[in-house]
């Protein structure tokens, strides 16, 4: 902490990738982080990443937790979700089941965070595979509207909208934090300790 030169940006936005296995959570994360399409990332591996980015002129750090199935254990999943400030809820447009599963993820997140306005984007990935499409953008947009969130289609392969989803979500997180700090203005910050807890990957 004493190395001033390598000091991390003061602002950290914590993003969690959720969604069924195989939808492209890791591919989106790695495309965003390293500008490459990784076809064969270990499907059971959860990992966290951090990167300095410029968000509307301000240097911030984005922390991304790429979840990978251990979420089946409720305690581990809840621990992950509690750490998150914003969620990219990913399905594959080529797999109807993965779209249905987003409702379960949404429900679990709302239960853990207890906040209807939690920063959240519904992400339809693999838009480059339009010929194999099983979920129409109308259907997905309808669900997003019900949830009062935005729907964005991406391709981790072509990089389409990859930056957009990570940056849009960070903007939502930022405005949510600004709102929270306005509400807490002058008051003791009750959640301070909790928000400092590290995300533990098991
Ligand atoms: N064509 C195409 N394939 C993708 C895309 N995103 C991921 N994949 C492939 O889908 C498979 C599962 O991706 P992965 O990122 O491991 O999914 P995860 O289980 O959600 O992390 C891999 O073979 C990826 O190469 C995409 O946008 N387009
Ligand atoms: Mg993965």
Whether 190 is covered by a domain: the verdict is: no
Whether ligand 1 lies within 6 angstroms of the CB of 22 is answered as yes
Whether ligand 1 lies within 6 angstroms of the CB of 156 is answered as yes
Ligand 1 pocket mutation pick from 22, 38, 129 by most atoms within 8 angstroms of CB: 22
Long-range own/partner contacts, residues 172-181 (CB < 8 A, 24 or more apart)? 172/86, 172/119, 172/120, 172/121, 173/13, 173/14, 173/15, 173/85, 173/86, 173/119, 174/11, 174/13, 174/55, 174/60, 176/85, 176/86, 176/117, 176/118, 176/119, 177/85
- CATH number of the domain bearing residue 82: 3.40.50.300
Whether 62 is covered by a domain: the verdict is: yes
Whether 50 is covered by a domain: the verdict is: yes
Nearest-atom index, ligand 1, CA of 129: 1
Whether 6 is covered by a domain: the verdict is: no
Whether 167 is covered by a domain: the verdict is: yes
Into how many domains does the chain fold? 1
pTM: 0.90
Residue 5 Cα to ligand 2 midpoint, Å, equals: 33
By residue range, what is the domain housing residue 74? 11-174
Whether ligand 1 lies within 6 angstroms of the CB of 125 is answered as yes
- The per-residue pLDDT for range 82-129, each reduced to its tens digit, is 999 999 999 999 999 999 999 999 999 999 999 999 999 999 999 999
Whether 160 is covered by a domain: the verdict is: yes
Task: State residue 18's pLDDT score.
Answer: 95
The tens-digit pLDDT sequence of the chain (202 residues) is: 444 556 777 899 999 999 999 999 999 999 999 999 999 999 988 899 999 999 999 999 999 999 997 656 788 888 889 999 999 999 999 999 999 999 999 999 999 999 999 999 999 999 999 999 999 999 999 999 999 999 999 999 999 999 999 999 999 999 999 988 888 875 655 555 454 455 565 5
Ligand 1 pocket mutation pick from 43, 89, 156 by most atoms within 8 angstroms of CB: 156
């Amino acid at each position: 902490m004493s190395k001033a030169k390598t000091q991390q940006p003061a602002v950290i936005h914590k993003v969690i990738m959720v969604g069924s296995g195989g939808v492209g959570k890791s591919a989106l994360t790695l495309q965003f982080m390293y500008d490459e399409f990784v076809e064969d990332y270990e499907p059971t591996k959860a990992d966290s990443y951090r990167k300095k980015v410029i968000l509307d002129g301000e240097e911030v750090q984005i922390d991304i937790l790429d979840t990978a199935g251990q979420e089946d254990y409720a305690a581990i999943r809840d621990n992950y979700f509690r750490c998150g400030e914003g969620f990219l809820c990913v399905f594959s447009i080529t797999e109807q089941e993965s779209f249905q599963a987003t409702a379960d993820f949404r429900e679990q997140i709302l239960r853990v965070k207890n906040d209807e306005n939690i920063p959240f984007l519904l992400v339809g990935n693999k838009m480059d595979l339009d010929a194999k499409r099983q979920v129409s953008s109308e259907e997905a947009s309808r669900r997003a509207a019900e949830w009062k969130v935005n729907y964005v289609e991406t391709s981790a392969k072509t990089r389409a909208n990859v930056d957009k989803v990570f940056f849009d979500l960070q903007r939502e997180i930022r405005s949510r934090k600004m709102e929270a700090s306005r509400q807490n203005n002058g008051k003791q910050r009750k959640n301070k300790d909790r928000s400092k807890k590290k995300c533990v990957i098991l």
